[in-house]
Amino acid sequence: MFGTVVVGVGIAGLARIRDLMNPMPSSPSENLKLIGFVSRRSFGNINEAKQITLEDALRNKEIHAAFISTENRSHEETIRMFLEAGKHVLVEYPMTLSAKAAHELWAMAEQKDKVLHVEHIELLTEEYKQLKKEVAGKDLVKGTLHFTGSVLDENKAGFPAFSGIARLSWLIDLFGDLTVTSATREKQKDKNYSRMTVHFQTANK
């Protein structure tokens, strides 16, 4: 069995704990054993999953891989700690708040012969696979992607563009590399409102 730890117990972390404790029959997840989870908040246990300290997770020889589901800003530091401890790492997107840091961490993982995987679960859904089939072989002439959400805490989530990075990776996966041609941001503090509008161009313009 391959020992794992989940770091962070927000929506994504709780889903990881659930899936690791109840793996789909005959799936690779059946070979994963959840040793525990790490959180700044005190839970004790979640279902039968045991809360452990970050230090225990880093030292425990039975833990081979970490699933990182914390806020965006802490991803880089947490990845670095687990790679230095000799663990494989799966992290929710975005991996870091800068491309430079991401490249450094990938180089570190390669040097230590560890897997560093950025997870974007939406790209594995049946709905997305169907969308990819529908656009295959077609040229994108023009399109708009609009999505809404609650106002993010920039201290934890990073610059607002990171809240849309999931959709950006959709577009790149569907249509290839994109170039930013313009970007604007509108803020209305009194209404707790923020909007970012970005225009992209595909390789064939």
Check which CATH number belongs to the domain holding 144 and give it: 3.30.360.10
In a shared domain, residues 87 and 147? no
In a shared domain, residues 95 and 28? yes
Last residue of a domain, one of 101, 119, 137: 119
In which domain, by residue range, is 93 found?
A: 2-119
- pTM here is 0.76
The confidence score (pLDDT) of residue 48 equals 86
The confidence score (pLDDT) of residue 140 equals 86
Task: Report in angstroms the alpha-carbon separations of 205 from 165, 179, 201.
Answer: 21, 9, 5
* Overall domain count for the chain: 2
Q: What is the pLDDT of residues 159-201, one digit of tens each?
A: 777 666 777 888 889 999 999 999 998 988 888 888 889 999 9
What CATH number should be reported for the domain holding residue 31?
Answer: 3.40.50.720
In a shared domain, residues 19 and 97? yes
In a shared domain, residues 32 and 101? yes
Last residue of a domain, one of 104, 119, 134: 119
